[in-house]
Amino acid sequence: MKSLKVLILCRPPLRDAIESYIPALWIKEMRHQISISAYCMSMDRESSKPLIERYFDYGVEEIYLISDKQFAGADTFATSYTLYQAICNMELDFDLILADAVSTYGETGHIPAQIAAFLNIPFAINVAGIVLAENNIICKQIFRSYEENISLSYPCLLSLNSNVDTEFINRNCLTLFDIMAKHHKEIKIMNSEQLKISEKQCGMCCSHTIVVNAIKMNGKNKHKLIEESRDAISELNKLIKGVG
Amino acid sequence: MQNINTVLVIYDALINSKIDRENFFMTLCRINDACSKTYCSVNIELLVPESVIGALTEEYGELSADTICLFRTKLENQTLLDYGANIFSYCLENRPQYVFFPSSIIGRNLSAWLGAKMEAGVVADVIDLEYLNEDESFKYIRATAESELLARIKCNKKPEIVSIRGKRNQESNKRKPVFKNIDFGTNESGDKIQIMERRAYSIQNFSDNIVIGVGRGVSAFDFEIIKTFADMNKIPIMGSKPAIESKLLGRDKQIGQSGNFIHTDIYIAIGISGAPQHVVGILDCKKIIAINTDRNAPIHNYSDISILLSAHDVFSSLISV
């Protein structure tokens, strides 16, 4: 394999912090091993352009922003299905798809696994290590009680663990050279018509879950207030000894 | 024909470990709790590896379920994709209306994968559920990302596939299970995925009676004082998202919607404001002690004891006692 074609499925970054660009850091890491052409896809409002644009600094060749008011109200199923249709209808032919294990709404990790299911390709989750080989990719998956190394054949999808160490960040973060070499490319905004996605195949029409209402968390009505250091120490000592 | 009343609860690890068994059991407790509140008549069916059931019943007694399906396939030979495909084929054959997973990394990903395969509604990381007899359906409660509110969610399509955070309580054990053996024959991975090595972690055996949580209000200097106290008393330290982001602790120590849910007798929240994303992770603690100088911090609404003093004052005095 001379070059690897990689698609980053990026969640809309909440802020311009390095942790929001984990897949881009992995692209830089993998470039130490093999030649890579990277593309990026995100589904969000057009207003998220300035944050997604940062992926160009990491050497991504094209960024596709999937954005249309028809996509509004999509749950995770509808979001994954829309992204899947975008990948298929744009005939994007990739060896590897990288996604973040953490979604904007917490560590749900739904989108990558669903896209792998729709595309019917092998996948690895919570990946903390990647070694690229000619015909396969070796990944370290980490879970709560165990870790495993698995080998996957291409094409495949990896969802990346976001707990990267400082050494990894330092090795792969943007350099002045990267920023200066930035090509002033434009993000390509794709709407439902361009992607040939009908109203029934996206947004609320395609969602299988509904938010019925919002409720407030119940607090505790009574609590003991301590403002003296002596009382605090006595109370804490008593409690700790009590359960010890 | 669809079996309209079955809740299928699936074991969510490809290893036989105490921590995963506990997570599975606590998820079952949460489901039984929700069912017993409304006397709903769903059948609870468990899908568990045969190699795990012995340890599960030894640790927690007879599990409260109507059916326990044991599969004999060796876990060590299964990839996640194989496991998912076997669950998928079991669901196609048996048509459960609800498929519930413990909310672990594997549980959440498998539920998502299965949801796509079955074109089903999927809800992640549910912190509670309620069964409404009039609708004959569950509603699921989960935290929202940027609001102080919880969302109550329902699915408009069956099956409903959900990952659920567990609850530590004594199981009512009203149900007496019937055992059934099944075979998992699918080898979905083929030559696409191969397991090269699988290694179990040695889990630190912390006391689960008490946990200290640190937040944004704790400086690196004060953290060292708290750590000295925690080490002296063998108390694990965890934290809210700001403490993780400031690198005081590793991400595996995060409490809240994006991290761990804890179920301890005592939780000591130090310098934690009490954002809802954190609070959902501590709601099952029996006693919450908040140490925060800000008397308007929301954490005081959830605490049993509020100490309006600085962490530095309290803990430097405690270690010198």
Whether residue B266 contacts residue B289, with contact meaning beta carbons closer than 8 Å, is answered with yes
Q: Is residue A163 part of a domain?
A: yes
Q: Establish whether the linkage from the previous residue to A23 is cis, with ω within 30° of 0.
A: no
Q: For the CA atoms of chain A, what is the radius of gyration?
A: 22
pTM of the model: 0.87
Per-residue pLDDT at B3 exceeds 50: no
Q: Residues B259-276: what's their mean pLDDT?
A: 89
Per-residue pLDDT at B205 exceeds 50: no
Per-residue pLDDT at B48 exceeds 80: yes
**Helices B105-118 and B80-94, packing angle to 10 deg:** 50
State how far Cα A149 lies from the chain centre: 21
In this prediction, residue A16 carries a pLDDT of 63
Per-residue pLDDT at A115 exceeds 50: yes
Q: What count of other Cβ atoms lies within 10 Å of the Cβ of residue A211?
A: 13
Q: Is residue A201 part of a domain?
A: yes
In this prediction, residue B146 carries a pLDDT of 58
Token pair recorded at residue A157: 């999808």
B106 interfacial to chain A (CB closer than 8 Å): yes
Q: Which residues on chain B are in Cβ contact (under 8 Å) with A126?
A: 105, 109
A239 pLDDT band, cuts 50/70/90, is confident
Q: Is residue A135 part of a domain?
A: yes
Q: Give the ipTM.
A: 0.89
Tens of pLDDT, residues A164-184? 777 788 888 878 777 777 666
C-alpha distance from A153 to closest chain B C-alpha (Å) = 5
A210/B153 touch (CB, cutoff 8 Å), yes or no = yes
- How much helix, strand and coil, in percent to the nearest 5, is found in chain B? 30, 30, 40
Q: Is residue A220 part of a domain?
A: no
Q: Is residue A228 part of a domain?
A: no
Q: Is residue A9 part of a domain?
A: yes
Q: Is residue A111 part of a domain?
A: yes
A148/B112 touch (CB, cutoff 8 Å), yes or no = no
Tens of pLDDT, residues B147-204? 567 899 999 989 999 999 988 776 566 788 999 999 887 777 788 999 999 998 865 5
In this prediction, residue B1 carries a pLDDT of 41
Which of B20, B22, B98, B105 would best serve as a mutation to test chain A binding (most A beta carbons within 10 A)?
B105
B252 interfacial to chain A (CB closer than 8 Å): yes
DSSP structure string for B32-45: HHHHHHTT--PEEE
Token pair recorded at residue B132: 């409404």
Provide the number of structural domains found in chain A: 1
Could you list the residue range(s) of the whole structural domain that residue A131 is in?
A: 4-206
Per-residue pLDDT at B2 exceeds 60: no
pLDDT above 90 covers what percent of chain B?
57
Q: Is residue A95 part of a domain?
A: yes
A146/B17 touch (CB, cutoff 8 Å), yes or no = yes
Q: Which residues on chain A are in Cβ contact (under 8 Å) with B288?
A: 220
Per-residue pLDDT at B127 exceeds 50: yes
Of A150, A208, A232, nearest to B195 by CB-CB distance is A150
C-alpha distance from B8 to closest chain A C-alpha (Å) = 19
Token pair recorded at residue B45: 């069916």
For residue A41, what is the domain's CATH number? 3.40.50.620
Q: Residues B291-318: what's their mean pLDDT?
A: 92
Of A80, A102, A219, nearest to B258 by CB-CB distance is A102
Sign of CA dihedral B216, B221, B224, B225: negative
C-alpha distance from B65 to closest chain A C-alpha (Å) = 25
Which helix or strand (DSSP H or E) is residue A188 part of? strand A188-190
**Among chain B residues, CA nearest to A207:** B121
